[in-house]
Amino acid sequence: MDVSSPAVVITERPADGVGLIRINRPDARNALNLDVRRLLAHNLTEMSGDPSLRCIVLAGNETAFAAGADIKEMAGAGAIDILQRGTHQLWRTIAACPRPVIAAVNGYALGGGCELAMTCDIIIAGEGAKFGQPEVKIGVIPGGGGTQRLPRAAGKYRAMRYLLTGDLFSAREAFDMGLVSEVVADAEVETRAIAVARQIAALAPLAVAQIKQCVLRGLDAPLDTGLALEVTANQLLFASQDQKEGMAAFIEKRTPKFTGK
Catalytic residues: 69, 112, 115, 135
CB of 124 within 8 A of CB of 196? yes
Residue 62, CA distances (Å) to 72, 101, 102, 159 in order = 23, 19, 16, 26
Q: Cα angle vertex 199, ends 52, 211, to 5°?
A: 80
Q: Which of 33, 40, 35 is nearest to 11 (CA)?
A: 40
CA dihedral sign of residues 61, 63, 69, 73: negative
CB of 104 within 8 A of CB of 193? yes
Please give the Cα distance from 228 to 132 (Å, whole number).
Answer: 36
- Which burial class, exposed, middle or buried, applies to 146 when counting CB atoms under 10 A from its CB (0-12, 13-18, 19+)? buried
